[in-house]
């Protein structure tokens, strides 16, 4: 039976970090920074491994999803908490850059 889990971490009233994983041990994951803006949730930044490596996608309000950038060479159990910690620590600056 496949294993899937989703967790939402409230960062502020309108900002959440959404973490999802599948597999045991973890095979795929995504860590997403979301902003509630103008009545809907916008994706601001995504960390995942769907391309076979740990990478990050920046989003911009005007340009949408950007090309992937590598962010970690470590194991999954190192990459996930690093992505969550980065988003929790820098969410305001990341949202500012999304608006630019």
Structural domain harbouring 39? 4-99
pLDDT of residue 73: 86
pLDDT tens by residue, 12-29: 999 999 999 999 889 999
pLDDT of residue 29: 96
pTM, two decimals, is: 0.93
Q: Which regions of the chain are under pLDDT 70? A: 1
pLDDT of residue 22: 95
What separation in angstroms does the CA of 43 have from each of 12, 27, 32, 40? 15, 22, 7, 10
pLDDT of residue 51: 83
Q: What's the domain count of the chain?
A: 1
pLDDT of residue 33: 98
């Amino acid at each position: 039976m496949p294993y899937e889990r989703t967790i939402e971490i409230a960062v502020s009233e309108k900002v959440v970090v959404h973490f999802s994983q599948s597999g045991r041990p973890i095979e795929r994951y995504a860590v997403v920074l979301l902003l509630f803006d103008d009545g809907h949730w916008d994706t601001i930044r995504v960390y995942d491994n769907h391309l076979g490596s740990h990478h990050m996608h920046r989003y911009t309000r005007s340009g949408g999803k950007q090309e992937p950038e590598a962010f970690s060479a470590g194991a999954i159990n190192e990459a996930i908490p690093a992505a969550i910690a980065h988003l929790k620590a820098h969410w305001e600056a990341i949202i500012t850059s999304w608006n630019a």
